[in-house]
Amino acid sequence: MEIASAEAVAENVAAACSLDNYLAQPDHTMDARIAAARATLGTDVVLLGHHYQRDEVIRFADFTGDSYKLSKVASETDAKYMLFCGVHFMAETADVLGRPWQQVILPDLNAGCSMADMAEIGQVEDCWDSLERAGLTADGGLIPLTYMNSAAAIKGFCGRRGGLVCTSSNARAAFEWAFARGRKILFLPDQHLGRNTAFAMGIPLSEMVVWDPYQINGGLSVDRLRAAKVILWKGHCSVHQRFLPEHVDRVRREHRNMQVIVHPECRWEVCQKADAIGSTERIIEVIEKAPAGSSFAVGTEIHLVNRLAKRFAPLGKQVMTLDDSGCLCTTMYRISPQHLAWALENLVEGRVVNRIKVEDDVKQWARVALDRMLEIKA
């Protein structure tokens, strides 16, 4: 392992401490500084903005989209630095897909993902050991799949054990791929995406179980595990789980001609009541293609919903949130113009702060899991 010099350590500590000076300033005072730093850095840096990012930050992005799209696009550029305005697992994926000379920066290391954090690698390995003792992993009978919204270590775990990564767009294709190779699926970490995907394929709820990592043997009997076709990890998106069936019912009562479209990370009961289910990219596509006069209640993160409402209002389309209280991704919201300016101005000074670097062994197997995903058709 390369050891940094005392001078380099001191320099990075000083840079990190100076973040407080940025955070004390109003958002709008960062605009000119961000623009100036970007002009100085030129094509050495590419700025990635996830759909759920706040407007004050995403407007500076070179590319916007979901996590996999952004990581893939950035890896195909010649940029030396990928500055990811998203959350930790997204930056890890960018590092896995990036070329050896590219470095990934997360402007705020506190920008995590509650869903990804619900599947810790030690817990997953303990789960696998239990399933192995129950005889469920023999002869490749159990295939582990993980959603893109997971830590690199979980992606690597799946890659090492013959599984792959999926997005919300190709989850069904991933399930079909897995069932062509094994009898059962362990799906991590979002139980709702797993349940909605399996049910849409005709698998009844009675053949799905939820593994709770905080209970002995996941809270399940061996017989129950053996009877299940899909073992769902007890994880969820804190934003999408807030949408409830009664929210759909209210829209039906108050807006009779309004279509309800929700993200597949929403509860099964919500998805069953919706008119359509789709990833963020799919939601955008549906609204784009709808005729003027169409109206939508959308079950996903509020920043994206508000952005869509503004974008499509001039085209005669109404877009509103499914839940009036609004559902904010609080961890994504941590990244501010101040964090962005701080990271960029440190780059101008030759300092890389908040670099996200995945360990080589984990990166190798995570890349295997991601490459397998490319074998399937969405």
Task: Say if CB 173 and CB 377 are below 8 A apart.
Answer: yes
In the chain, DSSP assigns E strands to: 45-50, 63-65, 81-85, 103-105, 142-147, 164-166, 184-188, 208-211, 230-233, 259-262, 276-277, 295-299, 318-321, 355-356
Phi-psi region of 137 (alpha: psi -120 to 50; beta: other; left: phi over 0): alpha
Which CATH architecture group holds 116-237? 3-Layer(aba) Sandwich (3.40)
The predicted-structure confidence for 214-266, as pLDDT tens digits, reads as follows 999 999 999 999 999 999 999 999 889 999 999 999 999 999 899 999 999 99
The predicted-structure confidence for 131-183, as pLDDT tens digits, reads as follows 999 999 988 899 999 999 999 999 999 999 999 999 999 999 999 999 999 99
Element (H, E) at 89: helix 88-97
Instruction: Provide the residue-wise pLDDT of the chain in tens; the chain has 378 residues.
Output: 344 455 554 455 455 557 878 887 877 889 999 999 999 999 999 999 988 888 888 899 999 888 788 888 888 999 999 999 988 898 999 999 999 999 999 999 988 888 999 999 999 999 999 999 999 998 889 999 999 999 999 999 999 999 999 999 999 999 999 999 999 999 999 999 999 999 999 999 999 999 999 999 999 999 999 999 999 999 999 889 999 999 999 999 999 899 999 999 999 999 999 999 999 899 999 999 999 999 999 999 888 899 999 999 999 999 999 998 766 776 767 889 999 999 999 999 999 999 999 999 999 999 999 999 988 865
pLDDT at 2: 41
Instruction: Kindly report the number of other CB atoms within 10 A of residue 222's CB atom.
Output: 14
What single-letter amino acid sits at 292?
Answer: A
pLDDT at 3: 46
pLDDT at 326: 66
| CATH code given to domain 6-111+332-360 | 3.40.50.10800
Query: Phi then psi for 2, rounded to 5 degrees?
Result: -75, 130
Q: Fold identical between 116-237 and 240-321?
A: yes
**Domain-wise residue ranges, the chain:** 6-111+332-360, 116-237, 240-321
Closest residue by Cα to residue 174 from 152, 200, 156, 151: 200
pLDDT at 10: 47
| CATH code given to domain 240-321 | 3.40.50.10800
Query: For residues 366 and 151, what is the distance between their CA atoms, to the nearest angstrom?
Result: 10
Instruction: Kindly report the number of other CB atoms within 10 A of residue 126's CB atom.
Output: 14
